Amino acid sequence: MSVLKGKRILLGVTAGIAAYKTAWLVRLLVKAEAEVRVVMTPSAKEFVTPLTLSTLSKNEVYSSFTDEEDENARWNNHVELGLWADYLLIAPATANTLAKMANGVCDNLLLAVYLSAKCPVLYAPAMDLDMYKHPSTNATFEKLESFGNIQIPAGHGELASGLVGQGRMAEPEEILNFLEKYIADGLPLRGKKVLITAGPTYEAIDPVRFVGNHSSGLMGYKIAERAADLGAEVTLISGPSHLQLQHALVKIVRVISAQEMLEAVQAHYASAHIGVFAAAVADYRPVAPAKEKIKKTGDTLEIQLEKTQDILGWAGNQKKEQFLVGFALETQNELANAKKKLEKKNLDLIILNSLRDEGAGFKSKTNKVTFIDKNGTILPFELKDKAAVAADILDYIIAQQ
């Protein structure tokens, strides 16, 4: 999955011959699951039609403050558009538009949006060789750089004039890759490895029966997805779960038993910077699982159980530089039991939830949690969906890095 998923990209199109490439650029952005809106300068419509870009972006294309043919037309609010965007991408960016951007000229909707935008601004120059090399253009580039605007370098190749040289707009694939890298490099967990456990474990009684619990794994999966969206390289060790997660930065290791989960954790923990142990690991397992299905021969059945190894406790004992997070699902004496677990297992943070809170716990899309850190700070949260809880957890971890 691209880091562009869910990002709001406002594409500014100016009047250069390279505008024809924006159809493919919009298609690539949409395919990366970005939300795309397009603002065109009036002259840009001579090179590519608003209908084409509207169809591909699945959104209205803006080119003027109002629809001059409709006396009741709604004003296209440039401030609203500028605030909507996560990123403003201007491609192609002609010498004319770039000079106006550098000097505060505001004679069309796109320039008004540019001056209102609070988000990062990236631009892809497109002009002929001599224009690209002109001292005034270099001065424009320097001024825009001083504003914090980011240039997507023009390529070398055949230009519209027939000359060969610098000034050719970067290809749509190159622009997409540049934008993805720019976003990824700015993510707070970029370069971090996060190890997450999720779901239940199943401890075999015989080939068809097991000891387990009702955990769906949703909380751990949401934490994994959020960590990856923030740039982390995630290893998700999942017990049996119907859940799926497709993300370029997430590697899923599927296990069944507590022993298998332990071995997977042991294989990945040393290289992790952050460990979030959200799995509901079975505390006990049958001592001697039957190799064949146990037949129903009496009114009762006795199964001798033994403790499984404490995976979170092992991680706490082995902890070096890792930031270690555990979960505590309690039904009584919640705070006292959670604090005891925090200390005993050498955690940096424990996430407490109670089965007594409606909407929390297993098989729910929501959770109500309380953070308790190693310094004794207690931070309660309201009931939220698990994606929002995952965001709170990662935000807290990032703040401690």
Give the least confident one: 28-37, 75-84, 122-131. Answer: 75-84
In this structure, is residue 309 part of a structural domain? yes
* Domain total in the chain: 2
Residues 176 and 248 in one domain: no
Q: What is the mean pLDDT of residues 73-89?
A: 84
Residues 310 and 169 in one domain: no
In this structure, is residue 17 part of a structural domain? yes
Question: Is the pLDDT assigned to residue 368 strictly greater than 80?
Answer: yes
Question: Is the pLDDT assigned to residue 359 strictly greater than 70?
Answer: no
Q: Across all residues in the chain, what is the average pLDDT?
A: 93
Would you state the pLDDT for residue 67? Answer: 64
In this structure, is residue 181 part of a structural domain? yes
Residues 28 and 116 in one domain: yes
Instruction: Please list, in sequence order, all residues whose beta carbon lies within 8 angstroms of the beta carbon of residue 93, skipping any fewer than 6 positions away.
Output: 12, 14, 16, 123, 124, 125, 126
Q: What is the mean pLDDT of residues 231-247?
A: 95
Give the least confident one: 85-89, 156-160, 209-213. Answer: 156-160
Q: What is the mean pLDDT of residues 106-135?
A: 94
Residues 70 and 218 in one domain: no
- In terms of DSSP bridges, do strands 369-373 and 378-380 run parallel, antiparallel, or are they unpaired? antiparallel
Question: Is the pLDDT assigned to residue 136 strictly greater than 60?
Answer: yes
Last-in-domain residue among 154, 185, 216: 185
Residues 305 and 328 in one domain: yes
| Residue 172 backbone class (left: φ over 0; alpha: ψ -120 to 50; beta: rest) | alpha
Given pLDDT bands bounded at 50, 70 and 90, which one contains residue 111? Answer: very high
Residues 51 and 12 in one domain: yes
Residues 279 and 221 in one domain: yes
Q: What is the mean pLDDT of residues 134-141?
A: 96
CB 4 within 8 A of CB 179: yes
Distance CA(225)–CA(243), nearest Å, equals 12
Q: Please report how the helices 172-185 and 22-31 are oriented relative to each other, as an axis angle in degrees rounded to 10.
A: 40
Would you state the pLDDT for residue 1? Answer: 67
Distance CA(196)–CA(397), nearest Å, equals 13
| Residue 359 backbone class (left: φ over 0; alpha: ψ -120 to 50; beta: rest) | left
Residues 66 and 158 in one domain: yes
Residues 22 and 63 in one domain: yes
Residues 89 and 159 in one domain: yes
Given pLDDT bands bounded at 50, 70 and 90, which one contains residue 247? Answer: confident
Q: What is the mean pLDDT of residues 301-318?
A: 96
Last-in-domain residue among 155, 185, 215: 185
Given pLDDT bands bounded at 50, 70 and 90, which one contains residue 73? Answer: low
Would you state the pLDDT for residue 204? Answer: 96
Question: Is the pLDDT assigned to residue 354 strictly greater than 90?
Answer: no
Given pLDDT bands bounded at 50, 70 and 90, which one contains residue 20? Answer: very high
User: Over the stretch 195-226, which tens digit does the pLDDT of each residue have?
Assistant: 999 999 999 999 999 999 999 999 999 999 99
Would you state the pLDDT for residue 361? Answer: 64
Give the least confident one: 68-77, 318-327, 334-343, 364-373. Answer: 68-77
Residues 176 and 223 in one domain: no
In this structure, is residue 2 part of a structural domain? no
Q: Please report how the helices 95-103 and 109-116 are oriented relative to each other, as an axis angle in degrees rounded to 10.
A: 40
Instruction: Please list, in sequence order, all residues whose beta carbon lies within 8 angstroms of the beta carbon of residue 216, skipping any fewer than 6 positions away.
Output: 199, 241, 242, 243, 362, 363
pTM score: 0.79
Q: Which two tokens stand for residue 361?
A: 């716990």
332 vs 308, 338, 341, CA distance in Å?
23, 10, 14
Share of the chain above pLDDT 70, in %: 95
115 vs 44, 82, 101, 124, 381, CA distance in Å?
19, 8, 8, 17, 38
Q: What is the mean pLDDT of residues 303-325?
A: 96
> Domain limits at 82?
8-185
Provide the annotated active-site residues: 213
